[in-house]
Amino acid sequence: MAGIIVAIMLIPQGMAYAMLAGLPPQVGLYASILPLVLYACLGTSRVLAVGPVAMDSLLVATSLSLLATPGDSDYLSMALTLALLIGLIEILMGVVRLGFIVNFLSQAVISGFTNGAALVIGVSQVKHLLGVQIPHSQSFFAILHNLLKALPQANGVTLALGVGSTLALLWFSQIMPKLLKRWAVSGAVTMALSRSGPLFVVATTTLLVWLLGWHASAGVGIVGDIPQGLPPIAVPPLTVSLAQKLLPAALTISFVGFMESIAVAKSLASQRRQSIDASQELIALGAANLGAAFTGGYPVTGGFSRSVVNFSAGANTELASIITAILIALVVLVFTPLFYYLPQAALAAIILVAVANLLDFREVFRLWRVSRADGVTALTTFAAVLAIGIGTGIAAGFLVSVLFYLGRTSRPHIAEVGRVGNTEHFRNIKRHPVQTCPGVLAIRVDESLYFANSKYLADYLMQAVAERPTATALVLICAAINHIDGSALKTLEALVEDFREAGITVYLSEVKGPVMDLLEKTGFIDHLGGGERVFLSTYQAITALENP
């Protein structure tokens, strides 16, 4: 049952997404046969529905349209090569277990990126609803500008078909389930009926155009001839110069596609107490892309909406995907002539309604509430995606999120400490009534030291020493330091040197075992003046230095 429902969704979506990618509709169907079977054999998720998705299709369109004209045979063969490269990259990443790097994208970046990409995809489809031609662009604002310029040329019949299709799709997905529920129809039937909106729209609009001859009389754009028969099996072209041109796009699509796929696979798996192996997933998705490359398809990945439907419809094993693949194969073998009169506006409406579900601005507000940094990151990513493009947008968002994170961790908590009464305890002098002695500065730093915070520590120590002209010894309390990197070590070494010039000796206390090993191995302890400069406890350090 799950396999059939997913096939009902996938037939129109596959054709629509292929169109979004600038490819003939059959390519979307070809990409929905062998890739599904390969993923079913190799993947660790039992419910992930692999195939063409909106985001990847847009990325294919934006990258290939810089190199060739949609509709050319060059364009088509580049899509195959792109799928091949993506397959190889994903398999390689899986083998060297690099799957974890998708975790480095923060939710703020993903949210800003998804909203931005949904708007770009949405606006890129409006031309089909209006029945106009506009120059290709990946900037939201440029597309909008071109649409407004082309508005006077809009085709009324096409627009009516597009708007009608959109309303029908919304009725199927939003209103029909409520009606069926009121009439006490069973869950499985409700799901099958409400998901067949796209198929209904495809059938109705095709019939309308066929019966009324709108393609000839009103110039409505139609899909036209789709070759009948199983996908052609061929080796995609691959030269070094072609690979170089396509590599940036292949990397971006691998990354984005894997990110979408792993997110939905993990979420669905944990709802059934199953677990997902990210590296094996990469290998399975890579194999699916290789399958697409050799059977006339284009890049595929695990899609969000179809996977959720597959899961809800009760898919328990990979059998569901194999049933879907068999049904799609049947369609390309027998039924493609039926799609001749299918209007492009109907496919555009299917894409529009699908990506509208990706828009989630409340998420951006929620991030803003949690922290200003997350909000700014999301908005920066969103703006960069709209204004420049998806790849640049993700890169900009990643950079901003990292800068905020470095900014936050680059100012660790540092305190001068003093002795509590006659105990062996030392506490922050600003919070507790403690004793200090004029010749010894005891400073505690509450963080591991690394490149982004070691100079902050050095500045703090310089300032502390400048404010205490009587100090001749500095004790750095290292109880909270779990790790020191090369930069921090270099900064500390320079500081020890500079302080020595200024007549101040640096001592360490409470150094953890692994850190002490590192300090000895790298010669820092010798640089400091030998092991007698390191004290086991702050108490020992202060008593030794107070009464020399």
Q: What does the binding site for its own copies look like in residue numbers (CB under 8 A)?
A: 100-101, 103-108, 266-267, 269-276, 278, 363, 366-367, 369-371, 373-374, 401-403, 405-408, 410, 450-456, 458-459, 462-463, 465-466, 469, 483, 485-487, 489-491, 494-495, 498-499, 501-502, 518, 521-522
Instruction: Report the C-alpha gap between 276 and 116 in whole angstroms.
Output: 29
Which residue(s) pair with 162 in the sheet? none
Instruction: Report the C-alpha gap between 538 and 535 in whole angstroms.
Output: 7
Query: Any idea which residue has 């890739």 for tokens?
Result: 35
Q: Which is nearer to its own copies, 255 or 341 (CB)?
A: 255
Could you tell me if residue 530 is left (phi over 0), alpha (psi between -120 and 50 degrees) or otherwise beta?
Answer: left
Contact assessment for residue 94 and residue 165, using Cβ atoms and an 8 Å cutoff: no
Which two three-digit tokens encode residue 487? Answer: 């930069």
To which H or E segment does residue 427 belong?
strand 426-428
Q: Which is nearer to its own copies, 202 or 264 (CB)?
A: 264
Instruction: Report the C-alpha gap between 230 and 245 in whole angstroms.
Output: 30
Which residue(s) pair with 418 in the sheet? 427
Smallest gap from Cβ 415 to its own copies, in A, equals 15
Smallest gap from Cβ 3 to its own copies, in A, equals 22
Contacts of 126 (CB under 8 A, 6+ apart): 143, 147, 348, 352
Q: Which amino acid is at 170?
A: L
Backbone dihedral angles phi then psi of residue 298, each to the nearest 5 degrees: -155, 175
Smallest gap from Cβ 392 to its own copies, in A, equals 14
Contact assessment for residue 29 and residue 11, using Cβ atoms and an 8 Å cutoff: yes
Q: Which is nearer to its own copies, 182 or 431 (CB)?
A: 431
Smallest gap from Cβ 223 to its own copies, in A, equals 39
Smallest gap from Cβ 354 to its own copies, in A, equals 22
Q: Which is nearer to its own copies, 269 or 347 (CB)?
A: 269
Q: Which is nearer to its own copies, 424 or 497 (CB)?
A: 497
Smallest gap from Cβ 451 to its own copies, in A, equals 3
- Mapping DSSP onto H, E and C, the string for 433-497 reads CCECECCEEEEEECCCECHHHHHHHHHHHHHHHHHCCCCCEEEEECCCCCCECHHHHHHHHHHHH
Smallest gap from Cβ 47 to its own copies, in A, equals 13
Smallest gap from Cβ 525 to its own copies, in A, equals 13
Contacts of 486 (CB under 8 A, 6+ apart): none
Which two three-digit tokens encode residue 12? Answer: 């129109």
Q: Which is nearer to its own copies, 42 or 458 (CB)?
A: 458
The CA-atom distances, in angstroms, between 452 and each of 16, 448, 455, 488 are: 48, 11, 7, 9
Smallest gap from Cβ 505 to its own copies, in A, equals 14
Instruction: Report the C-alpha gap between 275 and 45 in whole angstroms.
Output: 8
Q: Which is nearer to its own copies, 134 or 534 (CB)?
A: 534
Q: Which is nearer to its own copies, 55 or 465 (CB)?
A: 465
Q: Which is nearer to its own copies, 197 or 257 (CB)?
A: 257
